């Protein structure tokens, strides 16, 4: 084999140079590397906010590569067809990528591998998206885990290899393949006027992700357990946005928090556990791929959830009349993320009080979240609805008022996001009305609605349906 024959590195949700197992190995071979991102069917189907945020990640990664005299080739279409074209254009004979674990990505990658190998090309996939690959974590009888705590116990003390140094150089090929212009993909199109608002809350790219981790570890992780449940506090890391696009590796997050834990910071262990919830979601998606689009538990298909309705539309728009629910829904629309406590409350309210199918909520989240992740989102929704593994029991119905009393006692979160209710709120509440589609026809001067069902009636209705399941 000629040492000048290029290798294609296919980037997906691993847009970084630091601690990059696959890229380090491929570049270490000393041959030219062609970094490629393909907007395939999977990315084309992304919702508005994730697709727009992907565009920001790609812009940043293009600059990162330019700084080391390399280049991101952007192409759109079926992955296998595009790779085959690039091989023809450049003479590349080897393709590498970081493994993904959701069912759509797995089936795409299997096809690519089989077809390229049939043509005599070398294909290599690498670990990087997860700390613990699903097939390496087994129960004592060789099965997979359906409950989080034993999963955590089985991985918590595992050896984690040190981080790899940042890739500083990628040898360029003699000939770069042709590339699309990122703007021509229109990734911001579906965001409409929300883009400028959400942009203010983003933290894009590898350098900023690293800073975000360092800032969290040097300060907030010490108080993580005691502050992470309060949506008005900056108590969590915010790293989901960066982990989603691979702007930071999960291993970097683990190692930083683990060092803090070893230095005696016990609250860091709670953060490690959260990172492992992400692992667990992919464990489940790998072994039970139906978790993404069907009730995970048997016997739930006849549960009397409704599909979209007037009340679920009000939920999407942050107009249910239940302040904490509406504040959280607006937080998502304005910032592109929602505090975990908010996610649990709004999901419980939709699936229990409003008796609406979790897929309606999961679908709306997949449109609005810049940290949208197929596995974490599905697991979170099925947990809240009761249809998932390790799910919240049916009688656990979050009462948004008592949640507000516990976690937003001084009303700061609600004041921040509900501009028509609290005139002393911040810019975010006003921004909500600037971000939403004009056709919703909502203004800050509208009166705040009454709930379509009282919390007590919603709870009773839901308990009745769940206990008769």
Ligand X SMILES: Cc1cc2nc3c(=O)[nH]c(=O)nc-3n(C[C@H](O)[C@H](O)[C@H](O)COP(=O)(O)OP(=O)(O)OC[C@H]3O[C@@H](n4cnc5c(N)ncnc54)[C@H](O)[C@@H]3O)c2cc1C
Give me the least distance between CB of 361 and ligand X, in Å please: 7
Nearest Cα neighbor of 452 from 284, 355, 347, 321 is 321
With respect to ligand X, which residue has the nearer C-beta, 315 or 372?
A: 372
**Residue whose beta carbon is closest to ligand X:** 380
Q: How far is the CB of 362 from ligand X (least distance, A)?
A: 7
Minimum Å gap between C-beta 200 and ligand X is 17
CB of 342 to ligand X, least distance (A): 8
Nearer to ligand X, 116 or 354 (CB): 354
Q: Report the residue number, 31 or 228, with the smaller CB distance to ligand X.
A: 228
Rounded to an integer, what is the distance from CA 381 to the centroid of its chain? Answer: 13
Minimum distance, C-beta of residue 389 to ligand X, in the bound complex (Å)? 12
Taking the complex as a whole, the smallest distance from the CB of residue 253 to ligand X amounts, in Å, to 7
CB closer to ligand X, 203 vs 460:
203
Q: Using the minimum distance from each CB to ligand X, give the nearer residue, 73 or 377.
A: 377
Spatial neighbors of 139 by CB under 8 A, at least 6 apart, are 145, 150, 154
Element (H, E) at 35: strand 33-39
Of the pair 73, 98, the CB lying nearest ligand X is at: 98
Residue reference for tokens 């299997």:
110
In a 3-state reduction of DSSP, which class is residue 331?
Answer: helix
96 phi/psi in degrees, rounded to 5: -125, 155
The pair of structure tokens assigned to 296 is 């995970």
Nearest residue (CB) to ligand X, 398 versus 433 = 398
Decide: 56 and 204 in contact? Cβ < 8 Å.
Answer: yes
- Give one word for 418, left, alpha or beta, with left for phi > 0 and alpha for psi -120 to 50: beta
Which residues of this protein are in contact with ligand X, per CB under 6 A?
228, 236-240, 243, 274-275, 277-278, 281, 340, 343-344, 347, 365, 369, 371-373, 376-377, 380-381, 384
Q: What angle do CA 154, 135, 119 make, to 5 degrees?
A: 160
Q: How many helices (H) and strands (E) does the chain have?
A: 21, 5
User: If you write DSSP's letter for every residue of 36-87 in order, what string do you get?
Assistant: EEEE-HHHHT--HHHHHHHHHHHHHHHHHHHTTT---EEEES-HHHHHHHHH
What's 193's DSSP letter?
T
Strands 94-98 and 7-11 turn out to be parallel
CB of 84 to ligand X, least distance (A): 33
Whose Cβ is closer to ligand X: residue 62's or residue 335's?
335
Output 84 or 308, the one with its CB closest to ligand X: 308
- Report the distance separating Cα 35 and Cα 97, nearest Å: 10
Q: How far is the CB of 243 from ligand X (least distance, A)?
A: 5
Q: How far is the CB of 277 from ligand X (least distance, A)?
A: 4
Q: At what angle do helices 358-368 and 48-66 cross, to 10 degrees?
A: 40
How far, CA to CA in Å, does 427 sit from each of 270, 394, 435?
Answer: 32, 38, 12
Of the chain, the end-to-end C-alpha distance in Å amounts to 63
Q: Closer to ligand X at the Cβ: 254 or 422? A: 254
CA-CA distances (angstroms) from residue 368 to 51, 191, 237, 336, 338?
A: 10, 9, 20, 6, 10
Q: What does residue 388 show for φ and ψ, rounded to 5 degrees?
A: -100, 180
415/429 Cα distance (integer angstroms): 8
Nearer to ligand X, 132 or 365 (CB): 365
b/e code 205-224 from CB counts within 10 Å (16+ = b): bbebbbebbeebbeebbeeb
- Closest distance to ligand X from the beta carbon of 333 (Å): 15
Least Å distance, CB 207 to ligand X, is: 18
Shortest reach from residue 285's CB to ligand X, in Å: 11
Compare residues 9 and 372 and give the one whose CB is closer to ligand X. Answer: 372
């Amino acid at each position: 084999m000629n040492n000048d024959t290029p290798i294609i590195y296919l980037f997906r949700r691993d847009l970084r140079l630091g601690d990059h197992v696959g890229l380090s190995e491929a570049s270490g071979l000393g041959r030219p590397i062609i970094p490629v991102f393909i907007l395939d069917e999977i990315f084309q189907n992304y919702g508005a906010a994730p697709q727009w945020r992907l565009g920001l990640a790609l812009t940043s990664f293009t600059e990162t590569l330019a700084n080391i005299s390399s280049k991101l080739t952007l192409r759109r279409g079926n992955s296998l067809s595009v790779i085959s074209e690039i091989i023809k254009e450049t003479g590349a004979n080897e393709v590498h990528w970081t493994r993904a674990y959701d069912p759509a990505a797995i089936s795409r990658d299997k096809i690519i591998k089989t077809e390229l190998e049939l043509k005599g090309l070398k294909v290599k996939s690498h670990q990087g998206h997860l700390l613990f690959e699903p097939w390496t974590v087994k129960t004592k009888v060789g099965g997979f885990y359906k409950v989080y705590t034993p999963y955590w116990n089985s991985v918590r003390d595992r050896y984690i290899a040190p981080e790899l140094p940042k890739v500083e150089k990628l040898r360029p090929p003699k000939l770069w393949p042709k590339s699309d212009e990122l703007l021509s993909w229109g990734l911001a199109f579906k965001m409409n006027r929300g883009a400028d608002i959400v942009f203010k809350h983003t933290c894009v790219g590898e350098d900023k992700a690293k800073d975000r981790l360092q800032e969290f570890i040097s300060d907030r992780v010490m108080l993580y357990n005691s502050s992470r449940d309060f949506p008005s506090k900056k108590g969590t890391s915010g790293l989901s946005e960066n982990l989603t696009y691979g702007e930071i590796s999960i291993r970097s997050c683990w190692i930083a928090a683990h060092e803090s834990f070893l230095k005696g910071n016990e609250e860091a262990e709670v953060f490690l556990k959260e990172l492992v919830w992400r692992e667990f979601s992919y464990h489940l998606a790998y072994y039970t791929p139906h978790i993404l689009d069907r009730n995970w538990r048997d016997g739930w298909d006849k549960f009397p959830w409704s599909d979209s309705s007037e009340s679920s539309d009000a939920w999407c728009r942050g107009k249910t009349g239940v302040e904490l629910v509406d504040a959280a829904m607006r937080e998502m629309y304005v910032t592109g993320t929602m505090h975990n406590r908010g996610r649990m409350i709004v999901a419980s309210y939709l699936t229990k009080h409003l008796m609406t199918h979790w897929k309606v909520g999961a679908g709306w989240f997949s449109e609005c979240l810049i940290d949208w992740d197929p596995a974490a989102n599905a697991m979170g929704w099925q947990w809240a609805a009761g249809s998932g593994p390790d799910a919240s029991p049916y009688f656990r119905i979050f009462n948004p008022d008592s949640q507000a009393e516990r976690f937003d006692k001084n009303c700061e979160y609600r004041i921040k996001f509900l501009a028509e209710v609290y005139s002393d709120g911040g810019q975010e509440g006003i921004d909500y009305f600037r971000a939403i589609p004009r056709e919703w026809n909502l203004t800050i001067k509208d009166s705040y609605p009454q709930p379509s069902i009282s919390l007590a009636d919603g709870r009773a209705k839901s308990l009745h349906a769940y206990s008769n399941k």
